[in-house]
Amino acid sequence: MALSPDDPTLGLFQVLREDLSEPLPEGEDPRSHPENDPELSEDTLRAMFRHMLRVRLLDERMMMRQRQGRIGFFGAITGQEATPIATAFCLEEKDWVFPALRENAIMLVRGFPLTQWLAQVYGNSLDVLKGRQMPSHMSGRSVNQVSWSSCLGPQLPQAVGAAMAAKYKKTGAVTIGFIGDGATSEPDFHCAMNFAGVSNAPCVMICQNNHWAISVPSKKQTRSATFAVKAHAYGIPGVRVDGNDILALRAVIGEAVDRARKGEGPTFIEAVTYRIGAHSSSDDPTVYRSDEEVELWRRKDPIQRFERYMRFKGLLSDDERAQLEKELVEEILAAIENVESAAPPARETLFEDVFEERPWHLAEQQDELLEHDPAPSAH
């Protein structure tokens, strides 16, 4: 099948100008494609900016805490804030999110309390997950977001299953499933895309192509021209969008969500972005990629690109920007302080939630454990 060069899976859907290195003259439009602007309300734009900045500031502080040894692991989303935040603004309360590693911020936008989110990083007695799950594997029942799977990929067929369930129950809910560029090589990606196509389920599958699967570049994951183009093989629409352009993302994801909700089936979206920082706190990216490459992508920073638009629209001044950052930092530090002072999870909780009802042998194990003095909390 020959694709036309303007096929949406081969192009790059954009609203905002890409390169920040040239200063924009006063009053000049920061949009390269104003015709694609979703024309969001001022309140929405302000809220989106606030959430993007909030997660950037939060990540900076969590990486510092990881370096100080206060938390075991962290995967920041620096440089990739636009996709999760845009997604959150496309969803209704009843919709579901099956994330990969870098979409936990969606929970915060959808109303999950920051202290509870942080408690999942610390895994202490404030954590509703009871210290069971790794950081950056957050989940929130109250906001219909599940945990992703450490073995890459399984969340995507699950997302399609949840979408099939929504169709079965006629709830009108849409499910979003995420995957990284690396995990598109997993069999689960194929299974999910195939089932989504065959079942015509109301789901949107989003691949955040951040160019690096730890140290393996996306060129070593696939010989396809793009990731989005794979959608054609499954008979579902695909779109390639600038993943550092929150307005473009809001337009593309919003349209895909609307299509799904109307019963018109799934969409596969490739969001082209870049992981500015390390894969996780366990990784040093300087050994496998060049400073020049990172610098090139710093000049496409999603927050600064959006900020230029906000200023152009008259929605953000220097004072407002400074005031917002001050407020957010205060909120984050207060939340961290609150969470850090909580006690570790109680020993008894070890035996909860393995099954709906605790079986006798776990009751026996608990009795044996509690006969001993509590062990020191360190490993």
Partner 1 sequence: MREIRYREAVREAIREEMEADERVFLMGEEVGHYQGAYKVSEGLLSQFGEKRVIDTPIAEAGFAGIGIGAAMTGLRPIIEFMTWNFSFVAFDQIISNAAKIRQMSGGTFDVPIVFRGPNGAAKQVASQHSHSVDPFYTNIPGIFVVMPATPRDAKGLLKTAIRCQDPVIFLEGETLYNVKGEVPELDEEELIPFGKGRIGREGKDCTIVAFGRPYYEAMQAAEKLAADGIECEIVDPRTLRPLDIELLVESVKKTHRCVVVHEHWPYGGPGAEIVDQIQREAFDWLDAPIHRVGSLDVPMPYASNLENFVLPTVERISDAVRRVSYAK
Please identify every residue annotated as catalytic.
275, 279, 288
176 forms part of the interface with partner 1 (CB under 8 A): no
Dist CA 15 CA 37 (whole Å): 6
Half-sphere exposure of 21 (CA within 13 A, CB side): 6
Q: Answer for the pair 280, 75: CB distance below 8 angstroms, yes or no.
A: yes
* Least Cβ distance, residue 195 to partner 1 (angstroms): 5
Contacts of 2 by beta carbon, 8 Å cutoff, 6+ apart: none
3-state secondary structure of 40: coil
* Closest C-alpha to 82, from 299, 314, 306: 306
Complete DSSP assignment for 118-171: HHHHHTSTT-TTTT-S-TT---BGGGTB-PPPSSSSTHHHHHHHHHHHHHHHT-
Contacts of 301 by beta carbon, 8 Å cutoff, 6+ apart: 20, 79, 244, 276
Counting residues that bind partner 1 (by CB under 8 A) gives 48
* Least Cβ distance, residue 205 to partner 1 (angstroms): 13
360 forms part of the interface with partner 1 (CB under 8 A): yes
156 forms part of the interface with partner 1 (CB under 8 A): yes
Distance of CA 25 to the CA centre of its chain: 33
363 forms part of the interface with partner 1 (CB under 8 A): no
Contacts of 215 by beta carbon, 8 Å cutoff, 6+ apart: 279, 283, 285, 287, 288, 289
329 forms part of the interface with partner 1 (CB under 8 A): no
Candidates 14-22, 107-115, 155-163, 289-297: pick the segment binding partner 1 (CB under 8 A).
Answer: 155-163
130 forms part of the interface with partner 1 (CB under 8 A): yes
Q: Cα angle at 281 between 279 and 284, to 5 degrees? A: 65
Chosen residue from 27, 187, 314, 376 binding partner 1 by CB under 8 A: 187
Candidates 48-56, 65-73, 126-134, 265-273: pick the segment binding partner 1 (CB under 8 A).
Answer: 126-134
Candidates 41-49, 58-66, 165-173, 286-294: pick the segment binding partner 1 (CB under 8 A).
Answer: 165-173
195 forms part of the interface with partner 1 (CB under 8 A): yes
Strand 216-217 and strand 238-242: pairing? Answer: unpaired
139 forms part of the interface with partner 1 (CB under 8 A): yes
Candidates 84-92, 187-195, 264-272, 273-281: pick the segment binding partner 1 (CB under 8 A).
Answer: 187-195
Residue closer to partner 1 (CB basis): 68 or 355: 355
* Least Cβ distance, residue 106 to partner 1 (angstroms): 16
288 forms part of the interface with partner 1 (CB under 8 A): no
Chosen residue from 26, 292, 318, 356 binding partner 1 by CB under 8 A: 356
Dist CA 315 CA 322 (whole Å): 13
Query: What phi and psi values does residue 227 have, to the nearest 5 degrees?
Result: -80, -35
* Least Cβ distance, residue 124 to partner 1 (angstroms): 12
Contacts to partner 1 by CB under 8 A = 96, 98, 127-130, 132-133, 137, 139-141, 146-147, 149-151, 154, 156-166, 168-169, 175, 187-188, 190-192, 194-195, 198, 352-356, 359-361
